[in-house]
Amino acid sequence: MYTWAVFLHLIFVTFWLGGMLFTVAVLVPATRKKLAPQKGLLFTELGTRFSRLSWIIFPLLLLTGFAALIGRGFSAETIFSANFWNTLYGGRLMGKLYLFGLMLILSGIHDFWLGPKAARLMDVEPGTQKTQRYRKVTSWVGRINLLIGLGILYFAVTLVR
């Protein structure tokens, strides 16, 4: 069970982090020139699909993460005791969970408010200051979320070493 939990955990991680890195490194630069006129539509379609899958994956990350903890030999009783969170392992896991919580809040703001609003404005009133403002804030929230994702990755790597 332990191996399967970590295996699935890593598949979910690669999907989510890989999707964000792909967006920043490939999708956004690719839509600056030839695809610029369809940018709003493209981001609405791809963004909605990616976000829908991400919100399915977030609880699965939590589930497989806790399954890995149990697989490592920590009982549910240990995990919910204060002593566990005061150990080096527990502290690192707590750091990871704090960042995970922050990432969920920022993803919510990005996926359900800023992103859809910016994409709609790009289609309805492209070029206005309001549209530019929403685009800028949306893409910065996305970038910050990617940084948080990399922070989670760092905690995850130190967790097991």
Q: Does the protein bind ligand HEM through residue 105 (CB under 6 A)?
A: no
Q: Which residues contact 143 (CB under 8 A, 6 or more apart)?
A: 24
Smallest separation, CB 47 to ligand HEM (Å): 18
Find, among 112, 97, 119, 108, the residue nearest to 31 by Cα.
Answer: 119
Name which position in 119, 121, 141, 156 contacts ligand HEM (CB under 6 A).
156
Which tokens sit at 61? Answer: 């990350």
CB-CB contact of 148 with 102 (8 Å): yes
Q: Does the protein bind ligand HEM through residue 118 (CB under 6 A)?
A: no
Which tokens sit at 48? Answer: 């909605």
Site string for ligand HEM, 43-72 (x = CB under 6 A): ------------------xx--xx-xx--x
Kindly report the number of other CB atoms within 10 A of residue 5's CB atom: 19
Q: Does the protein bind ligand HEM through residue 84 (CB under 6 A)?
A: no
Q: How far is Cα 50 from Cα 68, in angstroms, rounded to an integer?
A: 25
Nearer to ligand HEM, 121 or 156 (CB): 156
Q: Which residue is nearest to ligand HEM (CB)?
A: 65
- In the complex, the residues that contact ligand HEM under the rule CB under 6 A are 6, 9-10, 13, 16-17, 61-62, 65-66, 68-69, 72, 96, 100, 149, 152-153, 156-157, 159-160
